[in-house]
Amino acid sequence: MSTSRRALLGAAVGGAAGAAVGLSAAAPAHAASWQQKWAPTATGDGLGAFETVEDDRADSHPAGHPHIYATGDNWRFNMHTVDRDTSTDRQRQEVTGLRTGSGYLKWTQGQTWRITYSMYIPGSLKATTTFTHIMQMKQPGNGTSPIVVQSLRRVNGVQTIELNLPIAGVLVGRTDLEPLHDTWTDVDFQIKVGDGTAGSVRWILKSGSTTVIDKSRTGVDTFLADRVRPKWGIYRSLGDTSGSLQDTYLLLTDLRGYQLG
């Protein structure tokens, strides 16, 4: 990422504690602020930045290994049309969690967390008629439902990117995907972990200095049990009917994690 893009993203985080979900923009100077807890680099930490790595866990495509790796300043997630997850109707190449030198960070009830990063979505990573998730928030463990998903979805034939809260049944926001193809997009995501109506989220996408979308929802369910754990990568259904599935990849860089405290 260029110096100007790094400065833009850093300024947004540094000056936005008052705009955190659930807080007043007029909060006093002594109010809670964002504390950086996670700042890995692809060159220095590699895949050690994450709690777990789910790289072709069904061993469906050994010739494509590794599907997930650090390259330069980026983490890269490759997806081939032949790749299969353990459930063979879908594909998954994902990483989970925020690992630090002292272990991994746990997001629990009542806490507010913020993730910022930049993503490069090539034109070959298209929206589909069934699910294509590029970020999830889940309770760890097999068979748990997603709490938050950032997805690439075709809506009436149009490619979109959206943020959805599946257990709350809430679409937070949606915008056109095609202008974001083949360019870097900054993501700023906030979540207050809360059961029932105690949770809230904010989702911001920026392209350069332009805010593409900025949507918030309060009074929503963002917790199942134990803790919330973020995931990144490509997780998509093979049930697409638009002919959009092809060999592709996703790049992430400048991952940062903050806790409101």
pLDDT digits (tens, 9 = 90+) for 203-246: 999 999 999 999 999 999 999 999 999 999 999 999 999 999 99
Element (H, E) at 209: none
Q: Report yes or no on 24 lying in a domain.
A: no
Q: Report yes or no on 23 lying in a domain.
A: no
Domain that holds residue 235: 3-15+35-260
Q: Report yes or no on 168 lying in a domain.
A: yes
Q: Report yes or no on 22 lying in a domain.
A: no
Q: Report yes or no on 20 lying in a domain.
A: no
- Looking at residue 7, its pLDDT comes to 47
- Looking at residue 30, its pLDDT comes to 59
Residue 246 contacts residue 1 (beta carbons within 8 Å): no
Q: How many domains does the chain have?
A: 1
- For residues 183 and 12, the model is more confident at 183
- Looking at residue 19, its pLDDT comes to 61
Whichever domain contains 183, its CATH number is 2.60.120.200
Q: 246-249, long-range: CB within 8 Å, 24+ apart, which pairs?
A: 246/81, 246/124, 246/126, 247/78, 247/79, 247/80, 247/81, 247/124, 248/78, 248/79, 248/122, 248/124, 248/125, 248/126, 249/76, 249/77, 249/78, 249/79, 249/122, 249/124, 249/125
Q: Is the pLDDT of residue 70 over 70?
A: yes
Confidence of residue 68 (pLDDT cuts 50, 70, 90): very high
Q: Is the pLDDT of residue 162 over 70?
A: yes
pLDDT digits (tens, 9 = 90+) for 113-133: 999 999 999 999 999 999 999
Q: Report yes or no on 57 lying in a domain.
A: yes
